[in-house]
Amino acid sequence: MPIDVLVVDDDPWFRGIASRLLERAGFTVAGEADTVRRALEAVIDLAPAAVLLDIGLPDGDGVSLAGELAKLPSPPHIVLTSSDPDAVTDELATRSGAAAFVSKQDLTDHRLRTLFAIA
């Protein structure tokens, strides 16, 4: 059964690219969100198994949102992303509740399968 992933990014172009990469990697895109508020609503409404989460959103930041999502009773598997490859260290990603950080330039279907390998 495919893993469902919520794509959170304020750029509709990137959401489309990420969604296509995820589907090509064998995942189901549960939905998309472009703000922290809409991401929270989508996680509650859709209960995705995973979230691909941009760190820069118009109404907040993805690192803080990852911390909020990690506190949910059934938290999703979170992977942070940014166009800045140095935006988040692995240590900060882990402390925020995310499983990993990957720059947008490094997103491939193979890399997504690795990042979203949920045991």
**In whole angstroms, how far apart are CA 39 and each of 7, 51, 85, 114?**
9, 9, 23, 23
Residue 116 · residue 26 · CB < 8 Å = no
Task: Retrieve residue 105's tokens.
Answer: 């330039």
pLDDT of 108 over the 70 cut: yes
4-105 is classed CATH 3.40.47.10: no
pLDDT of 119 over the 80 cut: no
Task: Report the alpha-carbon distance of residue 114 to residue 56 in Å, rounded.
Answer: 23
Whole-model pTM: value is 0.94
Task: Report the alpha-carbon distance of residue 49 to residue 78 in Å, rounded.
Answer: 9
Confidence at residue 114, expressed as pLDDT on a 0 to 100 scale: 87
